Structure 1
Amino acid sequence: MRSAATPESISTLYQNHHGWLFAWLRRKTGCSQQAADLAQDTFLRLLSTREQEAFRVPRAYLRTVAHGLMVDQIRRRALEQAYLEALALQPEPLAPSPEERLLVIEALLRIDSLLAALPDKTRSVFLLSQIDGLAYADIGERLGLSLRTVKRHMHTAFAQCLRALM
């Protein structure tokens, strides 16, 4: 049994499954270029994997990785689009430079990823506190949680934020 993906095993996997994966992605995305990029990214992920599943059931594994990459790409585009729409509403002198836009988009993606990693209830509590500005007691009342539980969720969320900063 392999302990890590070897160049030979990746090469064989690529030769045997790249065409199928590309066709599957092209059907899903409707774009040959996007499908080609996602297929390449999928195989790049395999270079550092230790998942034996990739070699036991390659198509299922490749489809799962490619699907995850596709979802990440869709989320990134949606986030970028929302940011660009908000920018379009700003007066011209307030519009940031392209470099500043990229930094903001990257920060938004990190925040989105951090929030997505939180459990649903913790994310809800955190957003009600930080975005809506609700007091912990009000959050507890709205979500049917005790004050102690709200504090525990906030502690979890802040700890996750601190880990992300380190």
Structure 2
Amino acid sequence: MEAKNDEKGLAACYVRQKEALKHYIASRIDRPDEAEDLVQDVFERLWSHKDFIHPEAVLTLTYKTARNLITDRQRRYRKEDDMYGELLYTQESLQDTTEEKVSFKELKLMFDRLVFALPEKRRKAYCLSFFEDLTLSEIARELSVSKRTVEQHILLARKDIKAQLRKEYFRYG
């Protein structure tokens, strides 16, 4: 009987708090359009632990979970941005010597080859996001998948490309 009450309490919290939580999250992330997904993630996480949550702690845990998910998300994006920043910095810092131009072209060709080698859906999601600058929602509609699936495809594509670039770079460098 207590589990049913916990479920009802969590469902009621969702109904009462989803908009406020969405605004809370949107004000703390770079891409406010992803706030709704994070709200869903918060309640999904709480739901998976509903048997251990005391009814009076639901609201506190909701915002604590949101803060943790925001922090995790920011760390993930910061790591990914570092890789692109390094690539751009390398390009900008290159002198106009022939050798450096050739090195950059080789790196660019390697990057393009790695993108092309990705599985089809992953490659499409990655290209639509970074070359056409579409939002997760737009990509999800284009590929007929959920926004979470798009996010996973992009994350995995970045990991694959980064790992292969490191592997290739150290082979030749």
Conserved? CA contact 2:18–2:39, under 8 Å:
yes
SS in 2 for 1:28: coil
What is the match of residue 146 of structure 1? none
Cα distance, 1:6–1:57 mapped onto 2, change above 3 Å: closer
Deviation at 1:31, TM superposition (A): 5.0
Matched, 1:42 2:60: no
What is the match of residue 51 of structure 1? 52
What is the match of residue 93 of structure 1? 109
SS in 1 for 2:48: coil
Conserved? CA contact 2:10–2:58, under 8 Å:
no
Aligned counterparts, 1:126-165, within 5 A: none
In proportion to residue count, which structure has more helix?
2
Aligned counterparts, 1:65-84, within 5 A: 65-84=65-84
How much identity, in percent, do the aligned residues show? Answer: 19
Cα distance, 1:27–1:102 mapped onto 2, change above 3 Å: closer
Conserved? CA contact 1:5–1:48, under 8 Å:
no
Q: Residues of 2 paired with 1:78 and 1:27: CA distance?
A: 18
Q: Residues of 1 paired with 2:64 and 2:29: CA distance?
A: 15
SS in 1 for 2:27: helix
Q: Residues of 2 paired with 1:107 and 1:64: CA distance?
A: 33
SS in 2 for 1:80: helix
Q: How many pairs align?
A: 107
Deviation at 1:85, TM superposition (A): 3.0
Conserved? CA contact 1:22–1:36, under 8 Å:
yes
Query: Which blocks of at least 5 consecutive residues in structure 2 are unaligned?
Result: 91-103, 120-154, 163-173
Q: Residues of 1 paired with 2:33 and 2:5: CA distance?
A: 27
Matched, 1:26 2:26: yes
Deviation at 1:35, TM superposition (A): 2.0
The alignment's TM-score, normalised by the length of structure 2, stands at: 0.49
Deviation at 1:107, TM superposition (A): 9.9
Q: Provide, for residues 67-116 of structure 1, a one-character-per-residue CA deviation record: whole Å limited to 9, x for no partner.
A: 010011101111111122344545222212263983562798xxxxxxxx
Query: Which blocks of at least 5 consecutive residues in structure 1 are unaligned?
Result: 109-166
Conserved? CA contact 2:13–2:59, under 8 Å:
no
Q: What CA RMSD, in Å, does the superposition of the two structures yield over aligned residues?
A: 3.3
Cα distance, 1:28–1:104 mapped onto 2, change above 3 Å: closer
